[in-house]
Amino acid sequence: MDANDLFPDSVVRDVDVGDGVHVRVRITGRGRPLLLLHGHPQTHAIWHRVAPALAGRFTLVLADLRGYGDSSKPAGDAGHARYSKRTMARDMLRVMQALGHARFDVLAHDRGARVAHRLAVDSAAAVRRLVLLDIAPTLAMYEQTAEAFARAYWHWFFLIQPAPLPERLIEADPCAYLRDVMGRRSAGLAPFHPRALAEYERALALPGSAHGLCEDYRASAGIDLEHDRADRERGLRLQQPLLALWGRDGVVQRCFEPLVEWQRVATDVRGGPLPCGHYIAEEAPDALLAEVLPFLSAA
């Protein structure tokens, strides 16, 4: 069994986004286009519990970020620009354009939500509405890092170490790394469907996956902060309606004030905590749908 079993009546495509990179997408449903982006250390399979309800109203484009899943995993460069959120956002814009969607909504979690944030800033005309799950803005989180956050999100500081140290340690036992990272969150491994968990394990064991996710984090600790600071200096703010949701039992709730932080960088923000931890779409799918469906269905 594989991810296809989690998404019946879907089709899979590899979309060329330039520079020898392809993005793996799964397409299902009908209606207004909705791009869904996953986080670390997962794949588009995170959406399997909410996809059926969303597919009744939207054309879903479920993508694997570059460096993750079955998308390309290019070698990183000295400045980590190949994995900057600007580059990853451009990937997704090109995906949606290639599929004929000039304007679309975005629902994104964790690392994918950071890509979605950059996409909505850099390509404002393309993004209609935006839902970001369990993050505060990257710049705010780094600037406010304290002991409690550093202990809970230790992987932020492990993965940015120079190559190949973290890659070598992850590749020694990718399943153990994945289960440790995901299983130490508030809900443990209980929320994850066995087929979804097997898909995450399969994907992380692919050649280049460890390097891809490390480069993602290295970019966030460097070039992405430069881009975010430039936005702040220019006074750039998200103009799209933004729904920010986070886990009541998670680290973002405990260490930050996410709604306040999003209000600093966006003009039209609403949201709050849901009764779960970090992996919202798998831990609390019904609560997520209750918030997302009316927000995305608005004109």
Q: DSSP characters for 33-74?
A: EEEEE--TT--GGGGTTTHHHHHTTEEEEEEPPTTSTTS--P
Whether 118 contacts 108, CB under 8 Å: no
> Is there a catalytic annotation at residue 155?
no
pLDDT at 3: 80
Residues 60-114: pLDDT tens digits? 999 999 999 999 999 999 999 999 999 999 999 999 999 999 999 999 999 999 9
Amino acid at 194: P
pLDDT at 131: 99
Q: Give me Rg for the CA atoms of the chain.
A: 17
Whether 3 contacts 45, CB under 8 Å: yes
Q: Pick out the chain residues at pLDDT < 50.
A: 1
pLDDT at 299: 84
- As a whole number of angstroms, the longest Cα–Cα distance in the chain is 50
CATH number of the 3-297 domain: 3.40.50.1820
Whether 55 contacts 128, CB under 8 Å: no
pLDDT at 2: 65
Tokens representing 217? Answer: 């984090």
Q: Where are the domains of the chain?
A: 3-297
Half-sphere exposure (Cβ direction) of 83: Cα atoms closer than 13 Å: 30
Residues 175-200: pLDDT tens digits? 999 999 999 999 999 999 999 999 99
Catalytic residue, chosen from 22, 48, 211, 278, is 278
> Is there a catalytic annotation at residue 101?
no
Catalytic residue, chosen from 110, 134, 224, 231, is 110
b/e code 200-223 from CB counts within 10 Å (16+ = b)? bbbbbeeeebbbbbbbbbbbbeeb
Q: What is the pTM of this model?
A: 0.98
**What gap in Å lies between CA 137 and CA 228, rounded to an integer?**
9
pLDDT at 1: 45
